[in-house]
A and B are shown apart, each in its own frame.
Chain A
């Protein structure tokens, strides 16, 4: 089997790269072979951050530059990401999973299922507890919604119970998980969702 492909989207600064860093720790402990494709506008910023961290061999981290709105290369024409993922598949025959991180985008951002098998959308509490209520397609259509930076709720006047309740309501009770990526909280539950959905173990 070729590697599973999992998309990670969400607004700028919501914690997508931080979540990937935590997931890499989890997957390493579980002997799951991973590669990552990052997307940025006109730089390789996120790929360079991951390479600096040293959790993966540098050649397992590829960067795609969208050159325009990030959603264009994960939905309208995902060719650059498909080419990168195919290259990783050819280069690393034992890969279990490829994580594709979108560049930071707005709430309308979604992944083409021609590109990924499953995808999650990351928002954070400091964006405001009304974010789920705005019913952005990323919030509604993703396979998993992650609300990050839960530790900041009391500092930004967010009622977590209300925010999670509204998120579940607009998603018709599809899964919503909370994380605090800086402290590593909630990561195991996110990893379990991925493993159940596309790794089957």
Chain B
């Protein structure tokens, strides 16, 4: 328990104070870790856009994130740093499928196909990276359909790559 948390109630975190990718926060997180005062909250990439979440830290602390609408959560976000407790969000990239079309016609058809399936996609150089927000099988089944329409290669990217 820390100041501001009532028994049975979550610790509410309503701001992003900084990011551990910044040198000063990196050093403070390192010091907090050494002192046993660092807690990590892991957030699935699909959940990162939420502004409100009820979660537990790696030390099983009940927390409630409630951020202003204009603030987004990114990996390394520092959500608390007071009273001997630092809480940092960890959001890995999650598994993705990198689809690389063989030619322009295939690129057009593949992009249209992915859009029709409402897949969350990022364009990286000449490829489309599909965020996998569930099991592999449905993605592979749909890609088997796409192969009848266009030529492309598939590479599975694991979390944190």
Binding site for B on A (CB under 8 A): 1-2, 4-5, 75-76, 86, 89, 108, 110, 112-114, 117-118, 140-141, 196-198, 200-201
Instruction: Using A2-B68, A200-B64 as known contacts, say yes or no to A117 and B52 having CB atoms under 8 A apart.
Output: yes
Binds A, one of B7-15, B23-31, B103-111, B145-153: B7-15
Total inter-chain residue pairs, C-beta < 8 Å? 41
Residues of the B chain whose Cβ atoms lie less than 8 Å from the Cβ of A110: 118
Residue of A nearest to B12 (CB): A200
> Is B58 at the interface (CB under 8 A from chain A)?
no
Residue of B nearest to A109 (CB): B118
B49 CB, nearest partner CB in chain A, Å: 4
Report the interface size for chain B: residues with CB under 8 A from the other chain. Answer: 19
In the assembly, what is the distance between CA of A189 and CA of B31, in Å?
43
Instruction: Using A75-B118, A76-B118 as known contacts, say yes or no to A1 and B66 having CB atoms under 8 A apart.
Output: yes
In the assembly, what is the distance between CA of A113 and CA of B131, in Å?
14
Is the pair A117, B14 in contact by a Cβ cutoff of 8 Å?
A: no
Is the pair B49, A114 in contact by a Cβ cutoff of 8 Å?
A: yes
A142 CB, nearest partner CB in chain B, Å: 13
Is the pair B54, A2 in contact by a Cβ cutoff of 8 Å?
A: no
Residues of the A chain whose Cβ atoms lie less than 8 Å from the Cβ of B134: 140-141
Is the pair A118, B50 in contact by a Cβ cutoff of 8 Å?
A: yes
